Chains A and B, each alone.
Chain A
Amino acid sequence: RKEVEQDPGPFNVPEGATVAFNCTYSNSASQSFFWYRQDCRKEPKLLMSVYSSGNEDGRFTAQLNRASQYISLLIRDSKLSDSATYLCVVKRSRNAGGTSYGKLTFGQGTILTVHP
Chain B
Amino acid sequence: GAVVSQHPSRVICKSGTSVKIECRSLDFQATTMFWYRQFPKQSLMLMATSNEGSKATYEQGVEKDKFLINHASLTLSTLTVTSAHPEDSSFYICSASAQIAGGRPDTQYFGPGTRLTVL
Contact = CB atoms under 8 A, between A and B. Distances in A.
B106 A102 contact: yes
A98 B97 CA distance: 15
A43 interface: yes
A72 interface: no
24 contacts: A4-B43, A41-B91, A43-B110, A43-B111, A44-B44, A44-B93, A44-B110, A49-B104, A96-B49, A96-B51, A97-B49, A97-B57, A98-B54, A101-B32, A101-B49, A101-B106, A102-B97, A102-B106, A104-B34, A104-B46, A106-B45, A107-B43, A108-B43, A109-B43
B8 interface: no
Contacts of B45: 106
Interface residues of A, number: 24
Contacts of B108: 102, 104
Given A87-B43, A99-B32, A43 B55 contact: no
Interface of B: 31-32, 34, 41-46, 49-51, 54-55, 57, 91, 93, 97, 104, 106-108, 110-113, 115
Nearest to B104: A49
B44 A106 contact: yes
Interface in A39-68: 41-46, 49
Contacts of A102: 97, 106, 108
A71 to B, nearest CB: 15
A104 B32 CA distance: 13
B56 to A, nearest CB: 8
Contacts of B112: 42-43
Interface centre among A45, A102, A107 (most CB of B within 10 A): A102
